[in-house]
Structure 1
């Protein structure tokens, strides 16, 4: 039964569930209208890595490229202020070498070409397709795992919460026009695992409490279970976010997309573990009978006189 220390999470479930629905609709709308700003990993293009004797002036490099007709180039530091990474979307395999020569000519002898690479459009399309397939397979495996460990209602709730987390994270990248590359895709897969772990911890306690608190309503059982796991959830989220913020601010621009995707995913994952997955359990009217294995039900019927 509820105690004075139990937080009544489910009393506000309709409001927070509505917020989750609005976030989903907004994210889907952004993805449909603005779409994702796919990086070179998925679109194909040239990548040039340069090393300067002194800290590089990124604005000067952008101006040089803009004057040459490449105002859409991504110019960023890579590892240190003297290392520069240039990315350009193009189907010309010789573009990287041309840009490198252009920069070297404009900047004089203070710049050294360290690397020139080209990713073809077909390779980028293949990476995009395999990344999407990998995410779908991960979702399918999770659905199977949760349905076997718990019950189908738990599995549906977990999958809906995970889809919510992924779509919201994609929506953030779409809305702000942030580059979506392989590191961000890897972060999304990590978000799926992190969010599922959070949800499983709460589900475990809900299942246990349903068996122990036979006369307690489902709403109270979920409130108690969530309160019991809240300290663990907040401690895990806070410690994870500390590391991710450190990566975002001090890890360099090359890893910022990865760190940001995880920051958004961890935050929204904590939210969905409490209100989306648990709220769906109530919407689907989870009962104690749902947790009884079918073979036990049949045995109980057979034993009747």
Structure 2
């Protein structure tokens, strides 16, 4: 009788373990499907092509989170404004799931639509912020928007809670842009975003990033930014093409095991050729 009870207990334990294993497998498959859906949704919302503008070199790179579970919110965009200047933006949505990927699409579409009304970076971020508030989402987004004149290299920028971008010149100088950012988009109505002016010199570069590029388990944001500053400085002096610098920046993020999505947008400038 004692042996029978022991056998029954063993069978019950095996059955329980089998059920738990099946449940764990089902949850893992569901989670994998959600990650794949969020990744596909995000990639589908990113621009397929970048504008070709005389005198301007653009390159982008995107790498999903190393652990696969934090995908969803990073984006970049580049497009020609109605006055011929170039609009450039990069951003990151709070959250890492399908909802974040969908919200990212709303932010990017809102920016593009409102840029046809105003390309002034501060006003554009303010209007986009109010639009997102009106949608009633509980999510928010950080963003940098730049308006670049391809002829003069004059660049106007505004930041909404996003990390600052990096600059480098062909004569070996480089650093992090020192400007005043405003609050993230979608926090409160009526926010203002201060505009700063810079000049992208011939042979120089600006590097726009998301925090997945500069932050990792063993890397602080400041350390990550310093790494990108060094890369940008070397690239500018060596005359590396924009796509080579963008690839090097993403490789650096992957080498430290970034736990978040990583996106980079590199902007280079040279003398524009003759107009057709």
- TM-score normalised per structure 1: 0.29
Q: Which structure is higher in RCO with an 8 Å CA cutoff and minimum separation 6?
A: 1
- Tell which structure's C-alpha radius of gyration is larger: 1
Higher helix share: 1
